[in-house]
């Protein structure tokens, strides 16, 4: 959802205090719902709302993921952005409670490891930077 510098800029532009008030947090979640709807090929954010979910209560629950009061510090907001992906962040609106997490991720190419007493070699790390192109 953005890096630390863009978050800092957002908070400063919106408030000039370094604090995000409840109205700004609501706008953030509203915009996030629009983004989520676009990603899911839905016509509007209203289609994201699960059947039987109260929008106002879902908004309060979402804000509580960031802060326990009606405003958030920059640290609280950054922690939220680093902790939740969009599905988790919006789960109070979508009523989604389970998230698939793959445990089959290897950051080290284990085929380079030696077996049974041979001299160990250094592991070769995969270059994920080349995937950005």
- Report pTM: 0.63
Say which range, 3-12, 74-83, 90-99, 103-112, has the weakest mean pLDDT: 3-12
* Per-residue confidence (pLDDT) for residue 105, from 0 to 100: 61
What confidence tens digit (pLDDT) does each residue in 8-61 have? 565 555 556 778 889 989 999 999 999 999 988 999 888 989 999 999 999 999
Cα–Cα distance between 22 and 103 in angstroms, integer? 36
Look at the block and give the residue holding tokens 């998230």.
Answer: 99
Look at the block and give the residue holding tokens 């979402």.
Answer: 62
């Amino acid at each position: 959802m953005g890096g630390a510098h863009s978050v800092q800029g957002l908070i400063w532009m919106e408030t000039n205090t370094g604090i995000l008030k409840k109205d700004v947090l609501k706008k953030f979640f509203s915009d996030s719902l629009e983004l989520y709807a676009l990603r899911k090929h839905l016509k509007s954010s209203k289609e994201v709302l699960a059947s039987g979910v109260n929008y106002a209560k879902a908004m309060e629950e979402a804000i509580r993921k960031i802060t326990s009061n009606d405003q958030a510090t920059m640290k609280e907001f950054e922690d939220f952005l680093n902790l939740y992906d969009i599905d988790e962040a919006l789960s109070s609106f979508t009523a989604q409670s389970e998230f698939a997490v793959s445990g089959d991720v290897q950051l080290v190419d284990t085929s380079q490891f030696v077996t049974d007493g041979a001299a160990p070699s250094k592991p070769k790390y995969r270059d994920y930077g080349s995937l950005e192109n």
